[in-house]
A and B are shown apart, each in its own frame.
Chain A
Amino acid sequence: MSVILAVTEQRDGALRKVSFEVVTAARQLADALGATVDAVVFGAGEVSGADKLGNGGADRVLTANHPDFARYCPDGQAATLAELGAAATAVVFAASATGRDLAPRAAARLGVGCASDVVGLEVQDGRIIATRPVYAGKALQKLRLSGSPAVLTVRPNTFPPSDSSKAGAVEKVTVPSFSARVHVTGIKAPEGGALDVAEAPIVVSGGRGLKEPGNFALIEALAAALGNAAVGASRAVVDVGWRDHAAQVGQTGKTVSPNLYVAVGISGAIQHLAGMRTAKVIVAINKDKDAPIFKVADYGIVGDLFEVVPRLTEEIRKLKGE
């Protein structure tokens, strides 16, 4: 029975939510190919959430323990995957910061190519066909993966965790010996320590319409009311230093695919749209009814954001309070 490896990610001993999306994608492939899913967990000890991988669709959970795996260890984890992946049909990663770093290394060791940031998967004649955005989302590429294994990374928030429960039997695997060429020494919080725009299910972004950096408080309040929301920013306000570059959504910032994207005081220049056009639902609030953002918004309110946003925050709070 062929195997699809789903490579999970942990931080500080807990599985990251995106791991379940990886398992879902792997499950989708496994069902189409008549294969099983092995979720790979790297850690230095117990990793919380690993016991839920079965519920998420993993037939087995392979735990690879090593003291260096308390943190991301590119060389050791690539070496482990090179061994586990050699016999697999496919190896699936998240297109997260870590996954994007690890997947190419594993692919190179396995002597195969890697399809990055996949948003669609199918199987045709026993081969994996991956759809992925290129040219900053202006086009979609369809690839046929004939590597053995096929290696791919999937875009977060695209393969929502599904409830197809499998056994999830835990097995230990041996970590091969490796020389750690890169040492990850830690993780620092960014200024603000907030949710990352690239992974949050909801993003509320502010632009120059806010007029002053202090007015981002309105955006933050709305994001807080919505819950699980990150605060994003247009390039214009990042360039003048109102927000950190990590929050920038757009061609030269982050490409985001949240379920809900709220653009406040953002005109919607092409460069910004490139970063958020694949969001499931786009809401725009702008005083200029000709602003290009309204052309891509699913819902729009034309009005003074200083009046609309607080009202929206209030209504959302009321809704959540019910």
Chain B
Amino acid sequence: MTNRFSGVDFYDMDSLLSEEERAVRDTVRTWVDENLMPVIADAYIKGEFPEALVPQMAELGFFGANLPERYGCAGLNNVAYGLIMQELERGDSGVRSFASVQGALVMYPIHQFGSDEQKDHWLPRLASGEDVGCFGLTEPDYGSNPAGLITTARQTGDGWVLNGTKMWITNGSRASVAIVWAKTGDITDASSVRGFIVPTDTPGFSARDQKGKLSLRASDTSELILEDVKVPTSALLPKSSGVKSALMCLTQARYGIAWGGIGAAMACYDEALSYAQNRIMFDRPIAQTQLQQARLAEMLTEITKAQFMTLQLGRLKDRGTMTPFQVSLAKRNNVNMAAECAREARRLLGANGILAEYGAMRHMANLESVYTYEGTHDMHTLILGQAITGLNAF
């Protein structure tokens, strides 16, 4: 079906967006329709990231779009950035993950914690897609508890030696550069975590894809192995200090993911609605049955709520007052509601809903990963619980 997506906007959110924000959203939306939708079902089934799309995404300015123009970035505000993520995820969560990693987890830490030399060298190359990056924080035994990570960085005469393993790393096998988080001090000291820019062709560094994924199949998810990887002093992100630096990056990514959830939910709702209007059973469209109308009404309600909450989140970010707890609330809500929309949409689609020709089941499977990564749903529950009560229940 080569139909153009026209969005979901029940409460005229468009009127709250600026002309530029709408124009950015429209460019990404059209690009997804013309370039991503025709290839995604196939890519997902094959388990291949559609890499041919990277140069186009770079050319249009999708990477690090909210970073300054002097680095070759688009210099957009955070609402516009969020809309990019929304529209990419309307296409596929795996493809949006590529952009999230590149922008929020690789370009952002370099911009935030890097030296001028590092920024001037790496940011333009990442913006242009010449270099692809990955974010090495999570480890096989340290997911929800990143502070416990055991990758080490020992100082040498002329630099550092890194040892450790990272897991569940998006873009890992494809990246030319990795931002690796490692402990420079005692293995129990989270404040000794620093970030390192590691070109992936450095001897001792290897990456391999994790096999057998049933989710995010159009994305590279890799294990990173660092065996005595020697990097110069200049590889250290000088302003990084402690695991909290890594968490700041996650906050950026989570912000984009909150928007992404809305995109996935919109895709599922739009497809379900169109299907329901065309599918005739017992002499009437299934859209004329109470149970399917209830599904659609529920989806639209959740999407609408999420839209306004997340728009305000973006305005707060642009104002400079956004807190990580506010991001937790949005990520937790939006991804959960999107996963439910996807499941309900898949059910509405009946037997057709198990086919890759329709997006619902692909979104449903993808969103399980999105529910789990960047802070699991449960972790965000506890983050909020602590923010609200002041009491740690972790």
| Contact surface of A with B, Cβ cutoff 8 Å | 235-236, 239, 269, 290, 292
Q: Does the CB pair A239–B2 fall under 8 Å?
A: yes
Could you tell me if A269 and B3 are in contact, using CB atoms closer than 8 angstroms?
yes
B17 near A: Cβ within 8 Å? no
- Chain B residues near A235 (CB-CB < 8 A): 2
Q: Which residues of A contact B278 (CB under 8 A)?
A: 290, 292
Contact of B280 among A236, A239, A269, A290 (CB under 8 A): A290
Say whether A290 contacts B279, CB under 8 Å: yes
In the complex, A292→B1 CA distance in Å?
13
CB contacts (< 8 Å) of A290 on chain B: these are 278-280
Query: Do the beta carbons of A236 and B279 come within 8 Å of each other?
Result: no
* Contacts A239-B2, A269-B3 supplied; 8 other A-B pairs, CB < 8 Å: A235-B2, A236-B2, A269-B1, A269-B2, A290-B278, A290-B279, A290-B280, A292-B278
Distance between Cα atoms of A235 and B38 in the complex (Å): 14
Question: Which residue in chain B gives the minimum CB-CB distance to A291?
Answer: B278
Query: Which residues 1-40 in B have Cβ within 8 Å of A in the complex?
Result: 1-3
User: In the complex, which residue of chain A has the Cβ closest to the Cβ of B1?
Assistant: A269
Chain B contact residues, CB within 8 Å of chain A: 1-3, 278-280
B residues in contact with A269, CB < 8 Å: 1-3
* Complex-state Cα separation, A292 to B2, whole angstroms: 15
A239 to B1, CA, bound (A): 12
Query: Dominant SS at the B interface?
Result: loop
Residue numbers in B under 8 Å from A239 (CB-CB): 2
Nearest chain A CB to B13 CB, angstrom units: 25
In this complex, what residue of A is CB-closest to B4? A271
Within the assembled complex, what's the spacing in Å between the Cα atoms of A269 and B2? 9
Instruction: Please measure, in the bound complex, the distance between the C-alpha atom of A269 and the C-alpha atom of B279, giving whole angstroms.
Output: 14
B278's nearest neighbour on chain A, judged by CB, is A290
Nearest chain B CB to A93's CB is how many angstroms away? 35
| Docked pose: A269 CA to B1 CA in angstroms | 9
| Least CB separation from B281: chain A residue | A290
> Which residue of the partner chain B has the closest CB to A236?
B2
Chain B nearest CB, measured from A52 CB (Å): 45
Distance between Cα atoms of A101 and B83 in the complex (Å): 43
- Complex Cα–Cα for A269 and B280 (A): 17
Q: Which residues of A contact B279 (CB under 8 A)?
A: 290
Query: Smallest Cβ distance from A209 to chain B, in angstroms?
Result: 13
A236 to B2, CA, bound (A): 7
Interchain CA distance A239-B2 in the complex, whole Å: 10
B213 to chain A, nearest CB (A): 29
Alpha-carbon distance between A74 and B280 when the two chains are bound, in angstroms: 54
Chain B nearest CB, measured from A253 CB (Å):
13
How distant is the Cα of A269 from the Cα of B3 in the complex, in angstroms? 8
Q: Which residue of B lies closest to A270 (CB)?
A: B3
Q: How far is the CB of A200 from chain B (nearest CB, A)?
A: 25
Question: B residues within 8 A CB of A292?
Answer: 278
Residue contacts A-B, CB under 8 angstroms, 5 given? A236-B2, A239-B2, A290-B279, A290-B280, A292-B278
Q: Which of B2, B3, B279 has the most CB of A within 10 A?
A: B2
Smallest Cβ distance from A239 to chain B, in angstroms? Answer: 7
A292–B274 Cα gap in the complex (Å)? 12
Q: Which residue of B lies closest to A239 (CB)?
A: B2
In the assembly, what is the distance between CA of A91 and CA of B278, in Å? 47
Residues of A near B3 (CB, < 8 A) are 269
Determine how close the nearest CB of chain B comes to the CB of A302; give it in whole angstroms. Answer: 13
CB closest chain-A residue, reference B279: A290
Give, as a whole number of angstroms, the nearest-CB distance from A48 to chain B: 45
* Alpha-carbon separation in the docked complex, A235 to B3 (Å): 11
Instruction: Determine the chain A residues whose CB is within 8 A of the CB of B280 once the complex forms.
Output: 290
Bound-state CA distance A244–B359 (Å) is: 30
Q: What CA separation (Å) do A290 and B285 show in the bound complex?
A: 10
Q: Whole-angstrom distance between the alpha carbons of A290 and B1 in the complex?
A: 15
For B2, the chain A residues whose CB sits under 8 A away are 235-236, 239, 269
A180 to chain B, nearest CB (A): 41
Q: Which residue of A lies closest to B34 (CB)?
A: A239
A290 to B274: give the CA distance in the assembly, Å: 13
Interchain nearest-CB distance for B37 vs A (Å)? 12
A234 to B280, CA, bound (A): 24
**Cβ-closest 7 pairs across A and B:** A290-B280, A236-B2, A290-B278, A290-B279, A269-B3, A235-B2, A239-B2
In the complex formed, the residue of B with least CB distance to A292 is B278
Task: Report the separation of the CA atoms of residues A22 and B286 in the bound assembly, to the nearest whole angstrom.
Answer: 49
Q: B283: shortest Cβ distance to chain A, in Å?
A: 12
Q: Which residue of A lies closest to B3 (CB)?
A: A269
Docked Cα-Cα span, A236 to B279, in Å, equals 22
- What distance in Å separates the Cβ of B34 from its nearest Cβ neighbour in chain A? 10
In the complex, the chain B residue whose C-beta lies closest to that of A290 is: B280
Q: Bound state CA distance, A269 and B278, in angstroms?
A: 11
* A236–B278 alpha-carbon span in the complex (Å): 20
Cα distance A102–B351 in the bound complex, in angstroms: 55
B residues within 8 A CB of A236?
2
B272 to chain A, nearest CB (A): 16
